[in-house]
Each structure stands twice: as C-alpha cells, then as structure tokens.
Amino acid sequence: MLVSAKVAAHDVAGSLDAIGSDTMAELMLRWGEQFEEQRPGVRLQLQVAGSASAPPALIAGTTLLGPMSRPMQEDESAAFIERHGYAPTPVVVGKDALVVVVNRHNPLSRLSRAELDAIFSDTLACGASESIERWQQLGLERPGGTIHLYGRNAVSGTHGLFRRRALCDGEFKVSVMVSAGSAAVVAAVGDDPAGIGYAGLNHLNADVKAVAIGNAEGGILPRRQSLRSGGYPLSRDLLIYVNRPPEGELPDVERAFLDMVLSPSGQRVVKELGFVALPPSVLAAQRHALGLAELPRDGP
C-alpha cells in the first residue's frame, strides 16, 4: 500500500521516502502530519508492505529510512553490509508489545510460554509435551471444542517476532488463519468465542482481552511499566533502520524528520497511538547516536 502525506519545512525541502512496517503506518503518518506543521516543502512517500520490505529497499537504495517492528535478521543485515560496506543504523523510536488475545467472554487469564507454543505450533520447541488443540486441555469448561487460531502473515514483523519469541523459533501450525493487519486479527477473535490470536498492543479493544504470559507463579500483562523495563516477555522495540555511512551526515530531510521523531512532540504521538514512549535515557542515547542535539532536561 502507498500512502502519501505532505510534510513541511522552512529550512528543509525535498522528498522523504520510507518503506516498511504496517504496524508503524499510522505512527509514520502522524509524524508526517506533525512535520508538515513545522516545515514546508517536503513530501513523504510511505510504503507499508510489512517489515520484511524494509531491508530490500534499504539495500537497493530505494529509501534511507526503513520502519520495522522487529530487528533485522542476520542475513538481512549481512546483505546490506555486502552492498554498502557498513551496517545499517537501528534507531529505536518507541516501545510496543505483542499481545495474546482471547474473546472477552473467555475465562482464560494466563498462559505459560510452553502452553502458548503448544497452542500455536506443532514443533513444541519451548518444551511442552503435547500440542494443545482443544480448550479443555487448558482446564477450561468453556469455550468448548477446538481452539481457533488467528495470526499475521509471514511478511509482517509481528509474525516473525512472535515465531521467535513465543514459539522458540519453531513453526506455526498450518491451521492459523492469517491476516494482513493486527486490527483484523483482533476483530476475528472478538467475533469468535473459541478464538485466540496475537496482535500489536495498540489494536486492543473491548471485544477482546489480553492474556498474561508467565509461569505457574503468575503471569505478566503488557503494561507500560513492564514494557519499559523489558519484563513483559513479548515486548519489542519499534525501529527505523537508517542508511547512514560511518561518520557521515544524513541528508537534511531525513535528519530533520528523525530529530522531530526523537523529540518530546514526536514521543507524544507514540503515546497517543497506544504505544509506549521511550524512557529519557533511551531517547538521549538514540539522539546521540545520530549526532542530534541534546534535549532539555524536562523532556518526555
């Protein structure tokens, strides 16, 4: 999908291209709108085909900015280095989480990592002794019958990260019904009393509820504190990978855009859209890595 937004600049002009994550599409567009208010003359061209589309575009030089909701894989980074002679620069721009959701009427409240893997995978790489196919195997009287599985398609960063974290690098069951976006997964589970799925944190609504992930002593829910501390096992960074030569400067347009993203106003957008803004220490480190000026001490 190609989405366009006019962006502004008094001291900066030109085009700004970004290719990558659909999870971050609304975030990128809101940042583009904010940029428009600040600076005239720039046009943002945003392609949101999924996180897997960012590395090829960065490698080919189609874009200097690649939004991703997962880290680059080793082969993707190696291909970039082979083409350009240096590594891509990962910039953390916010915090998010993959949330396991069930229908609001489902009494399930917690799953262990092994149970979660046994529900979504046949490979049982997290240590379960058998695949979980029916709700009764979890000690639930309702909903009865077979568990209906919902998830993301293979090009999404959400799919890849869930496979690595929740399935311990195992493989999904072929019965998982896949969707192009997290909103569709949440809608499907909200309509299906026997459904369970995974989605980005900011897509939750009143038709579903989040399931805590943990062990027999208790589970952890995706709360602001557990995301910022890394305590929630399915937390993740939202990233923009940047093609920036060592010791080199980014072009004015990309530099100005990232300066805004990593500012108090840019981080307010992160919070408004249901993600978690960066802690001050992380925000300062990202700005330093890009050679941006320090923020005032009363930043976000």
pLDDT in tens, 148-166: 999 999 989 899 999 999 9
Domain annotation covers residue 133:
yes
- The 3 state secondary structure assigned to 50-104 is CHHHHHHHHHHCCCCEEEECCCCCHHHHHHHHHHHCCCCEEEEEEEEEEEEEEEC
For residues 85 and 145, state if they share a domain: no
For residues 159 and 267, state if they share a domain: no
pLDDT score, position 39? 80
For residues 135 and 179, state if they share a domain: yes
Closest-CA residue to 23 (of 208, 204, 201): 201
For residues 87 and 104, state if they share a domain: no
Whether residue 286 has pLDDT greater than 80:
yes
Domain annotation covers residue 165:
yes
Parent domain of 254? 2-95+236-289
Predicted confidence band at 221 (pLDDT cuts at 50, 70, 90)? Answer: very high
What CATH number does residue 90 fall under? 3.40.190.10
For residues 70 and 122, state if they share a domain: no
pLDDT in tens, 164-195: 999 999 999 999 999 988 999 999 999 999 99
Work out the widest C-alpha separation in the chain, in whole angstroms: 64
Please count the structural domains in the chain: 2
Predicted confidence band at 298 (pLDDT cuts at 50, 70, 90)? Answer: low
For residues 101 and 219, state if they share a domain: yes
pLDDT score, position 175? 97
Closest-CA residue to 101 (of 215, 179, 198): 198
Domain annotation covers residue 300:
no
d(CA 297, CA 258) in angstroms, rounded, equals 19
Predicted confidence band at 13 (pLDDT cuts at 50, 70, 90)? Answer: low
Closest-CA residue to 286 (of 258, 253, 250): 258
Predicted confidence band at 216 (pLDDT cuts at 50, 70, 90)? Answer: low
pLDDT in tens, 230-278: 789 999 999 999 999 988 888 999 999 999 999 999 999 999 999 999 9
Compute the average pLDDT of residues 11-34: 88
For residues 181 and 110, state if they share a domain: yes
pLDDT score, position 87? 97
Domain end call among 195, 218, 235: 235
For residues 164 and 190, state if they share a domain: yes
Whether residue 287 has pLDDT greater than 50:
yes
Predicted confidence band at 218 (pLDDT cuts at 50, 70, 90)? Answer: confident
pLDDT in tens, 108-133: 999 999 999 999 999 999 999 999 99
Mean pLDDT for the chain?
91
For residues 106 and 231, state if they share a domain: yes
- Reported pTM: 0.86
pLDDT score, position 49? 87
Domain annotation covers residue 230:
yes
For residues 82 and 231, state if they share a domain: no
Domain annotation covers residue 219:
yes
Domain annotation covers residue 20:
yes
For residues 148 and 217, state if they share a domain: yes
- Strand 177-179 with 235-242, pairing: unpaired
Domain annotation covers residue 65:
yes
pLDDT score, position 3? 46
- Strand 14-19 with 42-47, pairing: parallel
